[in-house]
Amino acid sequence: MADWSRPFDEPIQPLKGKKLVTLKHAAAYIMVLPKSKQQAPEWHAATEALLMAAEDRGPLMHAHAGMLLALHGAKPIPEYDSSKEKHWGRRKPKRDE
């Protein structure tokens, strides 16, 4: 059974609106977002973390961090592209160019 009344260690203050004190407040905040925003990867991750915390399958701290990252527009880290890496080896002498 989900316990949505669990409070965060520190309340979350969104840019607009009341402080998010419990998991229920955070879930309600997500539910009023536009569907396009709810589908964004950062909000999807925050929702998953809230569900896991409410069902006692994950730490409350992950839900808190997920909400903060989503609120502040954190984007997933792009994949590493080694082709853009600079080669820092020895230079070729002028005569070899």
pLDDT in tens, 27-80: 999 999 999 999 999 999 999 999 999 999 999 999 999 999 999 887 666 677
Full residue range of the structural domain in which residue 30 is found = 25-75
Can you give the pLDDT at residue 16? 86
pTM above 0.85, yes or no: no
**Hey, which residues does 20 pair with through a beta bridge?**
12
Element (H, E) at 9: strand 7-12
Listing DSSP states for 69-97 in one string gives: HHHTT--PPPPP-GGGPPP-SPPPPGGG-
Q: Note whether residue 80 is domain-resident.
A: no
Domain membership of residue 6 (yes or no) is: no
Residue 29 lies in a domain: yes
Which residue, chain included where needed, has tokens 């994949």? 79
55 is a domain residue: yes
Domain count, the chain: 1
Q: Is residue 64 part of a domain?
A: yes
pLDDT of residue 95: 77
**In angstroms, rounded to a whole number, what is the distance separating the alpha carbons of residues 15 and 32?**
14
Domain presence at residue 19: no
The tokens of 78 are what? Answer: 């792009």
Q: Is residue 9 part of a domain?
A: no
